Amino acid sequence: MSDTVTALLQIGLQGYGSMPDALAVLGPAERATYCNDTWQKTMPRMSTLEFTRDRKMMSTLTTGRRGAVLYLKVCPHVTGP
């Protein structure tokens, strides 16, 4: 996943867990760094299946307090299997 997409996803998931109120005063780069560090500590990556033309998606398996979670990033042009 690109750094930009990763940062956007992690900033969008700020409601997961507790984020300090002071986060709002940080600039975009500092906020992305904080979110990335917190995300990596909270839900470490176990495995990644990179995007391929055949699969048309990327999969990341993480683990955390809720157990294992599989995140998918799917090509927007894909509507079915």
Same domain, 52 and 35: no
Structural domain total, the chain: 2
Same domain, 36 and 2: yes
Same domain, 78 and 51: yes
**Domain containing residue 76:** 44-81
Q: Supply the pLDDT for residue 54.
A: 83
Same domain, 49 and 81: yes
Q: Supply the pLDDT for residue 61.
A: 92
Same domain, 59 and 71: yes
Same domain, 38 and 50: no
- Compute mean pLDDT per 10 residues along the chain, 81 residues long, and list them: 58 55 78 84 89 85 87 74 58
CA 76 → CA 26, 56, 69, 81, distances in Å? Answer: 31, 9, 21, 13
